[in-house]
Amino acid sequence: MRFLNLHNHTVYSDGIGTVKENIEAAISKNMLGIGFSDHSYTPCDTSYCMKKEDYDKYLAEIGELKQMYKEIIPVYAGIEMDYYSEIDKSKFDYVIASVHYIIKDNICYPIDHSAKQQLDCIADAFDGDVYKMAEWYYDLVVDHVKKNKPDVVGHFDVISKFGIMPEDDKYFSIAAKAMAEAAKYCDMFEINTGAIARGYKTLPYPHKRLLEELYNIGGKVCINADSHNPQFLDLFFKESVDLLREIGFKCYYVFNGNGFDAIEI
C-alpha cells in the first residue's frame, strides 16, 4: 500500500528539512506523492511560521522542484492556513485549515505548542473551565472552515494533544457537534499522526470516537503526518488504515492536483 502526504513542514516554517530533502525522502519511501504545507504567516506569533515575504520564494522553489521531479513523483505546493492568517488561496494547490491560537481579550494564547501554554489559556482566559476553552476552540475551527472553504480540515482535535482535555461525553459532544457543522463546508478531514512523532500520543487524531462520528455523517479522510522531519513522512500510516477499516471506512483519499481520489482499503 502506497501513500501520499499533504501535511509537511520545511525550513520555511518550523520544519528541519528542506523542500528537496523531503522530496528525496518521499521517493525513498516509495510514496505516491508529497505536498508541502508550511505555516501561513500569523501576526500574533511569528516564531514558527513563514515570513510574508517568503511566500513567493516558497512557491517558486516548490514549482521548480515540481518540474524537476515530475517524471518521478508528484509534488504539490500547499499551505497550512491558520485561523488568524490571510492568504490568496489561488496561489496554492491546496489549503489545510487549522487553528493554533485563541485570541481572547487581546491576548494570544497558543493552544498546541506546549501543555503549560494550554493550561495557562484555560486558567487565564476561561477561569479554569476546560469545556469553555474547548467550545471556544471548536467555534474557531467551524468559523475557519465556513469562511475559507479549505481542501482539508487540519488536526481537528489538536487540543487533545497534551492529554488535558477530558475524554468524557461532555467533551466529545462539543467536538462532535463542531465536526458535523464543519463538515457542511469541507468534508475532508485528515488523520494526523504528528503527535505520535513528537511523543505526545500513541494514536493519531482525530480521536477514534470522533472518527466514528465522521464515518456516521459521511465524512472523508486523508492520512497526513504533519511532518517536521523528513524521516516521519509516513509515520503510522499503515496503522491508520487499520484504524479506518476497523471503524468501517471503505477508503481513504489522496490528492491528485485538482481534487481527491479514493483508495480502497
In a domain, 161, yes or no: yes
In a domain, 128, yes or no: yes
Q: Distance between CA 262 and CA 252 in Å, rounded?
A: 6
In a domain, 16, yes or no: no
Mean pLDDT over residues 205-217, rounded? 98
In a domain, 30, yes or no: no
Cell output for 219: 465524512
In a domain, 139, yes or no: yes
Binned at pLDDT 50, 70 and 90, residue 77 comes out as: very high
Amino acid code (one letter) for 2: R
Q: Which residue has the cell 490568496?
A: 88
200 contacts: CB under 8 Å, gap ≥ 6: 161, 162, 163
Q: Are 240 and 231 in contact (CB under 8 A)?
A: no
In a domain, 207, yes or no: yes
In a domain, 17, yes or no: no
pLDDT tens profile 127-164: 999 999 999 999 999 999 999 999 999 999 999 999 99
The domain that holds 241 is classified in CATH as 3.20.20.140
Q: How many separate domains does the chain show?
A: 1
What's the chain's average pLDDT? 97
Amino acid code (one letter) for 167: E
Mean pLDDT over residues 122-126, rounded? 98
In a domain, 183, yes or no: yes
Mean pLDDT over residues 81-104, rounded? 98
Q: Distance between CA 23 and CA 9 in Å, rounded?
A: 12
Binned at pLDDT 50, 70 and 90, residue 105 comes out as: very high
Mean pLDDT over residues 220-240, rounded? 98
Residue 113 lies in domain: 78-264
Q: Does residue 109 register a pLDDT over 90?
A: yes
User: What does the pLDDT read at residue 200?
Assistant: 95
Instruction: Kindly state the percentage of the chain with pLDDT values over 70.
Output: 100
pLDDT tens profile 242-263: 999 999 999 999 999 999 999 9
User: What does the pLDDT read at residue 1?
Assistant: 86
Q: Does residue 171 register a pLDDT over 90?
A: yes
Mean pLDDT over residues 54-76, rounded? 98
